[in-house]
Structure 1
Amino acid sequence: MEDERQSVHIAVLAGGVTSAYVAFDTVKRFGKENSRLIFIDTFNKGADDPAFQANTRFMKEVADYIGLPLIFIKNDEVDSLHIEYSNEEESNSTLGYSVEVKLKQLLAYLEEVRKNENLEPILYFGSAPEEMYRNKKICLESIEKELVSVSDLQSFFEIAPSKSIKVHFPLVEQMNINLDVKKIVQDEWGIELPRSERKRIYIAMFSGGAGSAYVAYYMVQAFGKENCKLFFTNTLWEDEDNLRFMDEVSEYIGLEITEILDGRTPEEVFYDYKFLGNSRLAKCSEELKVRQTLIYLEELRDNEKLEPVLYFGIAPHEKHRRDDSHVRRKLSLVREDSPDANIRKAAGIRSFYEHFPLEPIESRFPLIETLRADLDAKGIIQYEWGIKLPRMYTAAVEKAEKEGNTLAKKLVEKGINGFSHANCGGRCVRGGFQHYATLYAIWPDQYKEQEEMEERFRKHFEKNVSILKKNGAAYTLKQFREDMDHEGVEKYLFTSDDTIPCVCSFS
Structure 2
Amino acid sequence: MDTLNGNQVHIAVLTGGVASSFVAKKVVEKYGKENSRLLYLDFFSENGENPNYIDNHRFMKDVSTFLDLPLIKIEADPNEINYEFCSVDEDTSILKYEVEVKLKELVKYVLSIREQEKLNPILYFGNVPENWYDNKSICLESIEKGFAKSTDIITFFEQLPIEAIPIKFPLYDEVDTKTLNIKKTIQDEWGINLPRSERKRIYIAMFSGGAGSAYVAYYMVQTFGKGNCKLFFTNTLWEDEDNLRFMDEVSDYIGLEITEILDGRTPEEVFYDYKFLGNSRLAKCSEELKVRQTLVYLEGLRDNENLEPVLYFGISPHEKQRRDDSHIRRKYNIIDENSPDMNIRKAAGIRSFYEHFPLEPIESRFPLIETLREDLDAKGIIQNEWGINLPRMYTAAIEKAESENDPIAKLLVKFGIYGFSHANCGGRCVRGGLQHYATLLAIWPDQYKEQEEMEERFRAHFAKDVSILKKNGGPYTLKQYRLDIEREGIEKYLFKPDDTIPCVCSFS
TM-score range, shorter chain: 0.7 to 0.9
C-alpha displacement at 1:112, in angstroms? Answer: 2.4
Q: Does 1:110 align with 2:114?
A: no
In structure 2, the CA distance between the partners of 1:257 and 1:34, relative to structure 1 (3 Å rule), is same
Cα separation, 1, equivalents of 2:287 and 2:147: 37
Cα separation, 2, equivalents of 1:18 and 1:321: 46
Amino acid at match of 1:314: I
Counterparts of 1:167-316 in structure 2 under 5 Å? Answer: 171=171, 178=178, 179-316=180-317
Describe the superposition over 1:300-359 as per-residue Cα deviations: whole angstroms up to 9, x where unpaired. 33333333222222222225767xx57777868522223322222122112212222222
Partner of 1:371: 372
Q: Does 1:21 align with 2:51?
A: no
Partner of 1:352: 353
3-state SS of paired residue (2:505): helix
- Decide which moves more: 71-80 or 306-315: 71-80
Contact 2:238 2:426 in 1 (8 A): yes
Cα separation, 1, equivalents of 2:356 and 2:329: 27
- Decide which moves more: 330-339 or 215-224: 330-339
C-alpha displacement at 1:68, in angstroms? Answer: 4.5
CA RMSD of aligned residues (A): 3.5
TM-score (norm 2): 0.85
Cα separation, 1, equivalents of 2:149 and 2:342: 37
Q: Which stretches in structure 2 are left out of the alignment for 5+ residues?
A: 1-6
In structure 2, the CA distance between the partners of 1:16 and 1:448, relative to structure 1 (3 Å rule), is same
Q: Which stretches in structure 1 are left out of the alignment for 5+ residues?
A: 1-5
Cα separation, 2, equivalents of 1:123 and 1:85: 27
- Decide which moves more: 325-334 or 62-71: 325-334
Cα separation, 2, equivalents of 1:415 and 1:158: 69
Identity percentage of aligned residues: 70
C-alpha displacement at 1:427, in angstroms? Answer: 0.4
C-alpha displacement at 1:110, in angstroms? Answer: 3.4
Contact 1:78 1:104 in 2 (8 A): no
Cα separation, 1, equivalents of 2:257 and 2:378: 21
Amino acid at match of 2:109: Y
Contact 1:79 1:101 in 2 (8 A): no
Amino acid at match of 2:74: I
In structure 2, the CA distance between the partners of 1:415 and 1:299, relative to structure 1 (3 Å rule), is same
Cα separation, 2, equivalents of 1:314 and 1:100: 39
Describe the superposition over 1:367-395 as per-residue Cα deviations: whole angstroms up to 9, x where unpaired. 22333333332232222222221111222
C-alpha displacement at 1:7, in angstroms? Answer: 7.3
Partner of 1:3: none
Amino acid at match of 2:90: S
Cα separation, 2, equivalents of 1:139 and 1:396: 54
Q: Does 1:144 align with 2:139?
A: no
C-alpha displacement at 1:140, in angstroms? Answer: 4.4
In structure 2, the CA distance between the partners of 1:441 and 1:176, relative to structure 1 (3 Å rule), is farther
3-state SS of paired residue (2:408): helix
Contact 2:328 2:335 in 1 (8 A): no
Describe the superposition over 1:385-414 as per-residue Cα deviations: whole angstroms up to 9, x where unpaired. 222211112222222333333333333333
Cα separation, 1, equivalents of 2:111 and 2:408: 76
Partner of 1:467: 468
Describe the superposition over 1:459-481 as per-residue Cα deviations: whole angstroms up to 9, x where unpaired. 22222211111111211112212
Cα separation, 1, equivalents of 2:431 and 2:165: 61
Q: Does 1:401 align with 2:398?
A: no
In structure 2, the CA distance between the partners of 1:70 and 1:44, relative to structure 1 (3 Å rule), is closer
Partner of 2:42: 41
- Decide which moves more: 48-57 or 242-251: 48-57
TM-score (norm 1): 0.85
Cα separation, 1, equivalents of 2:493 and 2:171: 66
In structure 2, the CA distance between the partners of 1:29 and 1:275, relative to structure 1 (3 Å rule), is closer
- Decide which moves more: 241-250 or 60-69: 60-69
Q: 1:86 aligns with which of 83, 90, 95?
A: 90
Counterparts of 1:333-348 in structure 2 under 5 Å? Answer: 333-348=334-349
Partner of 2:4: none
Amino acid at match of 1:367: L
Contact 1:107 1:160 in 2 (8 A): no
Cα separation, 2, equivalents of 1:148 and 1:375: 38
Contact 2:43 2:76 in 1 (8 A): no
Amino acid at match of 1:432: G
Cα separation, 2, equivalents of 1:443 and 1:380: 27
Contact 1:333 1:368 in 2 (8 A): no
3-state SS of paired residue (1:503): coil
In structure 2, the CA distance between the partners of 1:415 and 1:181, relative to structure 1 (3 Å rule), is same
3-state SS of paired residue (1:258): strand
3-state SS of paired residue (1:79): coil
Partner of 1:505: 506
Cα separation, 2, equivalents of 1:219 and 1:118: 55
Contact 1:131 1:177 in 2 (8 A): no
Cα separation, 2, equivalents of 1:402 and 1:443: 13
Cα separation, 1, equivalents of 2:376 and 2:43: 32
Contact 1:85 1:156 in 2 (8 A): no
In structure 2, the CA distance between the partners of 1:192 and 1:234, relative to structure 1 (3 Å rule), is same
What count of residue pairs does the alignment treat as equivalent?
497
Amino acid at match of 1:276: L
